[in-house]
Amino acid sequence: RPAAANAARERSRVQTLRHAFLELQKTLPSVPPDTKLSKLDVLLLATTYIAHLTRSLQDEEESPGEGLGTLRGDGYLHPVKV
């Protein structure tokens, strides 16, 4: 049945996407492991963290030897939903 195959494929797709978001959330340094975040929150935190890392690398290139400095950027510290 095509409908059953489509439903199974969609379940698999959703499960894969959910797993990918959970793995991405695990890589974020400011999020405790038991925190529940929406997909949008995970994406916002990830993009902010990537921007921070990019700025840190640029700062390091401009003035080597001063370390990574502090976290900057709006939205990095996000309300935590447990």
Walk along the chain (82 residues) and give the pLDDT tens digit of each residue: 889 999 999 999 999 999 999 999 999 998 888 889 999 999 999 999 999 999 999 888 887 665 444 544 444 445 555 4
* CATH number for region 2-60: 4.10.280.10
Identify which of 52, 12, 16, 20 has the alpha carbon closest to the alpha carbon of residue 39: 20
**CA–CA separation, 81 and 38 (whole Å):** 9
Measure the CA–CA gap between 53 and 14, rounded to whole angstroms. 30
In whole angstroms, what is the distance from residue 14 CA to residue 8 CA? 10
Q: pLDDT value at position 68? A: 45
- Domain chopping of the chain, boundaries: 2-60
Predicted pLDDT at 27: 92
